[in-house]
A and B are shown apart, each in its own frame.
Chain A
């Protein structure tokens, strides 16, 4: 399992994760959990499904999973291993038919479109295949076409900020059209709770995502959440009994 902090860093296998995170406890600090298989080489889907099952056991929060989804069968495998929603990224651009097939099978609310964006000369371009392939499609253009895609949410991630801890690239949101109907998640760059607050206070944002606070900051998530509540941000409070 990989996490990103300036450079890719291995934080441990599933047993390590269970021991150090205990997702059933972390669950009370988050609204939702996103689990991605970011393997660079051939993906082992059975292994990832097993990991997902172990992670999500006794975690009663919504769970989205993805990474290299190329077929309805790939999606079914994750949905039967504890996922409630499927995250699609590269397939959005290479296999548009798959998105409508997934929506027909599971409903559009089941699909989170995730886009990795890279800033080049002031414009944001979409990258695919774990960010390795920067396309000539701009984020602005993609978001304009989004209303035709059968998706339930969109997660906009900044490659330039991901793992830096310097805060969200808020300018990404300037690419959103007026009256954008699909819920927006912003991702990439969170280093502390004030970054989460900046995202949540922006009217264009429906949710904020972080891996950094989960991976490297001890009780980072729990304390970030209580700080946000203290700032008056409207978050559900999950008690522990």
Chain B
């Protein structure tokens, strides 16, 4: 059987090298590309990313990567995983540097953690934190609820009652740690940096 291929979208932001190396470690092939043909025909697609939401959306639109992602999702067997900023980009909009529209694949908005004298929050939220999920999210198959994953972010995706299949984390407030909505899924944490639990999650994605 030929190796599964994962297309890692390269739009100039984020540590693609470590995402690709985790995928290769799991025995699949990783293709890092910004080529819209390769993106639109992908069966397994990862949208990574670190940095500014606004800048990411600009680059994605300028290079028609948004259209290529939508086209790939028109094939019913295609699965998409957004990681960190990549997950946030799947949401409706972010308040980072003024309001910016996201890809809108889920209706949730993204906003900044706020620090008050009461909460005494550290921003960014950085380090390994517990993620809670109910057992019906395929990405978390075999991963106990309250396992720890590695986060580094100042903005978070708001919880809404409208999307199901959500795993949550707490940093001053409950927020979306991961979600799975049919073909589209995302993790705010970095599975490629979350030791064995993260590798398990990526393996679940490869086998989805």
Q: Is the CB of B193 within 8 A of A57?
A: no
Give residues of chain A (83-105) contacting chain B, Cβ–Cβ below 8 Å.
84
The answer to whether A107 touches B196 (Cβ under 8 A) is no
Residue-by-residue, is B103-134 near A (CB-CB < 8 Å gives 1, otherwise 0)? 00000000000010100111110111000000
- The answer for the CA separation of A100 and B95 in the assembled complex, in Å, is 21
Closest beta carbon of chain B to A132's beta carbon, Å? 30
The segment out of B14-22, B75-83, B160-168 that lies at the interface is B14-22
Residues of A close to B122: CB separation below 8 A: 181-183, 206
Contact between B196 and A240, CB atoms less than 8 A apart: yes
B-side residues, CB < 8 A to A, are: 15, 17-18, 21-22, 25, 50-52, 115, 117, 120-124, 126-128, 147-148, 150, 152-154, 190, 192-199
Contact B117 A106 (CB under 8 A): no
Determine the main DSSP class of A at the interface with B. Answer: loop
Interface size on A, residues (CB 8 A): 33
Judging by beta carbons under 8 Å apart, are A79 and B120 in contact? no
Contact, CB under 8 Å: B195 / A28: yes
Contacts of A79 in B (CB 8 A): 15
Question: Which residue of the partner chain, among B147, B154, B195, contacts A61 with CB atoms under 8 Å?
Answer: B195
- B154 contact set on A, CB distance < 8 A: 108-109
- Tell me, in angstroms, the Cα distance from A152 to B123 when the chains sit together: 8
Given A60-B195, A106-B51; 8 other pairs, CB 8 A cutoff: A60-B194, A62-B152, A82-B18, A84-B190, A152-B124, A152-B152, A183-B127, A241-B196
B88 to chain A minimum Cβ distance, whole angstroms, is 12
Residues of A within 8 A of B196 (CB): 28, 60, 238-241
A27 interfacial by beta-carbon distance below 8 Å: yes
